[in-house]
């Protein structure tokens, strides 16, 4: 048997209670993430896609152990992150890093670049000043900055450079897993491609794995080996990137991916326009949660029975839809 | 597509900063006809939003002002109009849709009241009650489900996509000749964005309004717009019909921009990256503002501002400004 996967998520569920009614005595339950399972192998990239409110962010927060799951578990390299000992947790905190969307909010304006980038090492390892400087220089060079820029404050940098600083501080402890939450969407178009290439180069150089949350589908296609599509807290389809784009199987995936507008003017793009908005997760529709907007409803079964995630031709590619299940 | 509804000629807008007068829109000219959609593409700081604010004459005060040029709405020049005159143009002749529907609606009034306000500009003195049916009609037109009940809703009771539809209803309430849409779908989910773009197309088919669509998303331009102008550092670097510019981009920046967007059609191993950063605002600029990032840049590019060349790809209306047009292959 080989190594355990870098990340394994099993039946992960998070419910939130929100007060409701007079004086907030009643309670509603929001199923933000509902029974989600997947695994990520070393050196691979998984993209999480879905509309706002589908549970991507809640899921990511549980992967980082910033939120405790209601049930289910998250394993990193075979260890359940919610039952870790203190020393294991310390290792987890350096081994799993994150880069967030907004480089204006994610860097402390009062710290110099050196202190921001070095922080993970200062907290967790006892390194000499010389060694620390060497590691910071190394990280800055890896992300395309100059070592002497370590003495500046974040406000002296542009958005793209700030995102590079955030990446340097994420990679300095040589983590095996990096969570990227909309890592380029706050950046200008011409800067995005620089940063996306950087993520790819880093992955090739150090072999880290990524979980990337992105609403831009072009970004997803470029970055990801596999794509997981979420809808109202549930995983509706997961599979290899090319299969997902070329032959999406779940009607929601079909609509979502067709909403990406390609850069061509020759033949008109046939997009599937969905009706209505995403329903409220407080009161999700019966049966398949997607049925009120679905363009391929096959009958009453969609309204009454919730489809289970099942394997398609390969165990790699799974989806939850009644379509084709009768065969 | 009819005659020009909105014509911008040699527009120059400056911001008076402590460091001097900084041009943010520099010698910009374009026109858009009835039933036509013009895309204005550029990154932050390229001057695309400042162009829109100049047309509506809502530039940041007191530092922003139009220094020269003309903005012709049909035959009337908006530049130099008094505040009272321009107030009659806003909302009535030109409607506007901004990026963030959460901030463009007033949280303490129902959406019905906010649409009525727009209707009253055109029908002064009409009692509010009699306008209510028109409000419901407008909300139906922008595909707000259950419109008769939704007129009494407050903005916080609606989703982002629904709110942006209400903003659209306000923009079309005065039956404007031009709608300026400044990144109207950037805050929306992709599936909702698609619905909204389709809605804009339907409104245009029905009313023949001209649309100025400001965006950084080339995918939207390819699928929605008829013509486009590409802005960089306050200037137009290339303009033409969408099909001419996408098939034969002539300015190195346009070419680079088209190459740097990750495709949804196929997987690539590496993206084309434009090195460096967009230029900062500054009072004294020399030469082509793209020169520091341009792979074809020569001495002359750093020294002199390139002139516009017409007739690219065999079309009179395909322009670009670059010193290397003849030289690069």
Q: pLDDT digit string (tens) for A242-288?
A: 999 999 999 999 999 988 888 887 776 788 888 877 887 788 899 99
pLDDT recorded at residue A265: 78
What are the angstrom distances between the C-alpha of B262 and each of A222, B275, B295?
A: 6, 16, 20
Q: Give the residue from chain B lying closest to A241, CA to CA.
A: B267
3-state secondary structure of A118: helix
Half-sphere exposure (Cβ direction) of B76: Cα atoms closer than 13 Å: 13
**Considering CB atoms only, which of A189, A200, A273 is closest to B257?**
A189
CA distance B115 to B169: 7
> Which of A189, A256, A269 lies at the smallest CB-CB distance from B43?
A189
B90 to chain A, closest Cα gap in Å: 30
Asked if B156 is an interface residue toward chain A (Cβ–Cβ < 8 A), one would say: no
Chain A interface, Cβ < 8 Å to B: 51-52, 158, 160-161, 188-194, 196-197, 200, 215-219, 221-222, 241-242, 245, 255-257, 259-265, 268-269, 271, 273-274, 276-278
Asked whether residue B110 is assigned to any structural domain, the reply reads no
What pLDDT was estimated at residue B23?
92
CA distance B238 to chain A (A): 17
Please give chain B's pLDDT, 329 residues, in tens. 457 999 999 999 999 988 888 999 999 999 999 999 999 999 888 999 999 999 999 998 889 999 999 999 998 999 999 999 998 898 889 999 988 888 889 999 999 999 998 888 877 888 888 889 999 999 988 888 888 889 999 999 888 888 999 999 999 988 899 999 999 998 888 888 998 999 999 999 999 999 999 999 999 999 999 999 999 999 999 999 999 999 999 999 999 999 998 888 877 888 898 888 888 777 677 889 999 999 999 999 999 999 888 878 788 889 999 998 765 54
How far apart CA A120 and CA A105 sit, in angstroms, is 18
CATH number of residue B52's parent domain = 3.40.50.300
Report the alpha-carbon distance of residue A125 to residue B190 in Å, rounded.
Answer: 43
Residues in a beta bridge with B13: B25, B66
Whether B146 is in a domain gets the answer: no
B273 in a domain, yes or no? no
Measure in Å the smallest separation between the Cα of B53 and chain A Cα atoms: 21
Residues of chain A positioned with their CB less than 8 A from the CB of B192 = 51, 277
Residues of B in contact with A193 (CB under 8 A): 260-262, 271-274
Does a structural domain hold residue B326? no
Q: How far is CA B239 from CA A80, B17, B216, B319, in A?
A: 57, 30, 15, 5
A271:B194 CB<8 A: yes
Three-class HEC string of A125-159: CCCCHHHHHHHHHHHHHHCCCCHHHHHCCHHHCCH
Domain count, chain B: 1
Cβ contacts of B263 on chain A, cutoff 8 Å: 218, 221-222, 262-263
Other Cβ atoms less than 10 A from the Cβ of A251: the count is: 25
Chain A closest CA to B165's CA: distance in Å?
12
Residues 175-194 of B with CB under 8 A from A: 189-194
Q: How many helices (H) and strands (E) does chain B have?
A: 12, 12
Q: Which domain holds residue B228?
A: 4-105+177-232
Examine the pLDDT at A149 and tell me if it is beyond 50.
yes
How far apart are the C-alpha atoms of A110 and A19, rounded to whole Å?
38
pLDDT value of residue B283: 67
> Distance (Å) from the C-alpha of residue B93 to the closest C-alpha of chain A?
31
* Among A256, A265, A271, beta carbon nearest to B247: A265
How far is residue A12's CA from residue A48's CA, in Å, rounded to a whole number? Answer: 15
Contact call for B243 and A265, based on CB within 8 A: yes
Q: Which of A189, A259, A264 sits opposite B260 (nearest CB)?
A: A189
Chain A CB contacts of B158 below 8 Å: none
In this model, does residue A317 exceed pLDDT 80?
Answer: yes
Query: Which of B243, B265, B278 shows the shortest C-beta gap to A262?
Result: B265
Smallest CA–CA distance, residue A202 to chain B, in Å, is 13
Q: By CA distance, what is B276's nearest residue in A?
A: A191
pLDDT of residue B326: 64
Tell me how close the Cα of A69 comes to any Cα of chain B, in angstroms: 26
Residue B14 lies in a domain: yes
- Quick check: A263 and B263 CB within 8 A? yes
Q: B176-211 in b/e burial notation, b at 16+ Cβ within 10 A?
A: bbbbbbbbbbebbbbbbbbbbbebbeebbeebebbb
Nearest CB to A265; choose among B220, B246, B269: B246
Alpha carbons B239 and B311: distance in angstroms, whole number: 11
Closest CA to A114 of A137, A143, A141, A142: A137
Residues 6+ apart with CB under 8 A from B235: B26, B27, B28, B47, B289, B321
- Residues written for chain B: 329
Instruction: Identify which has the larger pLDDT, A1 or B192.
Output: B192
Please identify among residues 96-155 of chain B the ones whose CB lies closer than 8 Å to any CB of chain A: 145
Cβ under 8 Å to A: B residues 230-259: 242-243, 246-247, 256-258
Confidence of residue A327 (pLDDT cuts 50, 70, 90): very low
Does residue B133 fall inside a structural domain?
Answer: no
Structure tokens that stand for A271 in this block: 């997009």
Q: Per-residue b/e over B251-285, b at no fewer than 16 CB within 10 Å?
A: bbbbbbbbebbbbbeebeeebbbbeebbbeeeeeb
Q: Chain A: nearest CA to B291, how far in angstroms?
A: 15
- Interface residue of B49, B101, B164, B190 to substitute, partner A, most A CBs within 10 Å: B190
- Which of A221, A276, A278 lies nearest to residue B262, judging by beta carbons? A221
Q: What is the DSSP string of B125-149?
A: T--HHHHHHHHHHHHHHTT-TTHHH
Question: How open is the CA angle B268-B269-B272, to the nearest 5 degrees?
Answer: 80
A16 contacts A30 by C-beta, under 8 angstroms: yes
Q: What are the tens digits of pLDDT across the range A11-47?
A: 999 999 888 777 767 788 888 999 999 999 999 999 9
Residue range A288-301, pLDDT digits in tens: 999 999 999 998 99
Taken in order B52, B55, B57, B63, is the CA torsion positive or negative?
A: positive
Return the pLDDT at B224.
93
CA–CA separation, B19 vs B48, rounded Å? 22
CATH superfamily, domain at A7-319 = P-loop containing nucleotide triphosphate hydrolases (3.40.50.300)
Contact A188 B242 (CB under 8 A): no
Q: For chain A, report the end-to-end CA distance as a whole number of angstroms.
A: 35
Buried b (16+ CB within 10 A) or exposed e, B88-106: ebbbbbbbbbbbbbeebbe
Instruction: Pick the more confident residue, A121 or A3.
Output: A121
- Return the SS3 of A204: helix
Q: Within 13 Å and on the Cβ side, how many CA atoms surround A106?
A: 23
Report the SS3 class of residue B83: helix
Question: Which residue is closest to B144 within chain A, CA to CA?
Answer: A276
Of A160, A222, A274, the CB nearest to B262: A222
Report the C-alpha gap between A193 and A189 in whole angstroms: 7
Taking alpha carbons only, the member of A9, A7, A5 closest to residue A73 is A9
Distance from CA of B243 to the nearest CA of A (A): 6
The phi and psi torsions of A30 (rounded to 5 degrees) equal: -100, 120
Contacts of A198 in chain B (CB under 8 A): none
Q: Which residues from chain A sit within 8 angstroms of residue B146, using beta carbons? A: none
């Amino acid at each position: 048997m080989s190594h355990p996967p870098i990340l394994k998520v099993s039946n992960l569920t998070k419910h939130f209670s929100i007060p409701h009614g007079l004086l907030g005595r009643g309670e509603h339950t929001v199923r933000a993430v509902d029974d989600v399972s997947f695994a990520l192998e070393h050196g691979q990239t998984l993209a999480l896609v879905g509309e706002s409110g589908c549970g991507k962010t809640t899921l990511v927060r549980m992967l980082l152990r910033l939120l405790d799951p209601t049930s289910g578990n998250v394993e990193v390299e075979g260890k359940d992150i919610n039952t870790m000992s203190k020393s294991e947790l310390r290792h987890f905190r350096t081994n799993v890093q994150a880069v967030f969307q907004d480089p204006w909010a994610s860097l402390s304006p009062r710290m110099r670049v050196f202190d921001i980038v070095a922080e993970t090492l200062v907290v967790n390892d006892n390194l000499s000043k010389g060694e620390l400087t060497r590691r910071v220089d190394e990280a800055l060079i890896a992300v395309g900055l100059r070592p002497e820029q370590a003495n500046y404050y974040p406000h002296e940098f542009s958005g793209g450079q700030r995102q590079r600083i955030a990446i340097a501080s994420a990679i300095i402890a040589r983590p095996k897993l990096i969570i990227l939450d909309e890592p380029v969407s706050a950046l200008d178009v011409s800067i995005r491609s620089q940063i996306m290439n950087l993520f790819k180069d880093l992955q090739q150089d150090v072999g880290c794995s990524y979980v990337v949350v992105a609403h831009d589908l072009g970004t997803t296609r470029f970055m990801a080996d596999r794509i997981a599509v979420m809808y109202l807290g549930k995983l509706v389809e997961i599979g290899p990137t090319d299969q997902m784009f070329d032959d999406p199987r779940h009607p929601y995936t079909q609509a979502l991916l067709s909403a990406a507008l390609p850069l061509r003017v020759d033949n008109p793009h046939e997009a599937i326009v969905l009706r209505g908005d995403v329903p409220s997760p407080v009161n999700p529709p019966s049966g398949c949660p997607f049925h009120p907007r679905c363009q391929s409803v096959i009958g009453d079964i969609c309204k009454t029975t919730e489809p289970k995630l099942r394997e398609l031709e390969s165990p790699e590619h799974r989806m939850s839809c009644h379509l084709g299940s009768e065969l | 597509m009819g005659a020009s509804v909105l014509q911008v000629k040699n527009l120059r807008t400056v911001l008076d900063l402590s460091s001097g007068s900084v041009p943010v829109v520099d010698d910009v000219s374009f026109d858009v006809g009835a039933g036509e959609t013009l895309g204005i593409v550029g990154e932050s700081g390229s001057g695309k939003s400042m162009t829109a604010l100049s047309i509506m004459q809502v530039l940041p005060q007191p530092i922003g002002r139009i220094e020269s040029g003309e903005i012709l709405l049909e035959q009337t020049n908006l530049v130099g109009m008094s505040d009272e005159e321009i107030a009659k143009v806003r909302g009535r002749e030109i409607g506007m849709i901004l990026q963030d529907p959460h901030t463009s609606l007033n949280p303490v009034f129902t959406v019905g009241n906010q649409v009525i306000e727009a209707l009253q500009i055109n029908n002064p003195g009409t009692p509010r009650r009699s306008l209510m049916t028109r409000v419901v009609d407008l909300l139906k037109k922008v595909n707000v489900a259950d419109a008769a009940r939704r007129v009494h809703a407050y903005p916080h009771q609606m989703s982002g996509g629904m709110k942006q539809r209400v903003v659209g209803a306000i923009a079309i309430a005065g039956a404007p000749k031009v709608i300026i849409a400044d990144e109207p779908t950037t805050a929306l989910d992709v599936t909702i964005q698609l619905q909204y773009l389709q809605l804009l197309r339907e409104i245009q088919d029905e009313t023949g309004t001209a649309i100025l669509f400001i965006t950084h998303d080339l995918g939207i331009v390819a699928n929605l717009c008829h013509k486009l102008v590409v802005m960089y550092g306050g200037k137009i670097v290339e303009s033409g019909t969408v099909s001419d510019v996408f098939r034969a981009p002539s300015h190195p920046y346009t070419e680079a921009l088209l190459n740097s967007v990750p495709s949804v059609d196929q997987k690539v191993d590496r993206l084309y990256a434009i090195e460096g950063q967009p230029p900062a605002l500054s009072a004294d600029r020399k030469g082509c503002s793209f020169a520091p990032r341009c792979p074809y840049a020569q001495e002359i590019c750093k020294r002199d501002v390139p002139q516009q060349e017409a007739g690219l790809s065999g079309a009179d209306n395909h322009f670009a400004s670059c010193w290397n047009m003849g030289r690069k292959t």
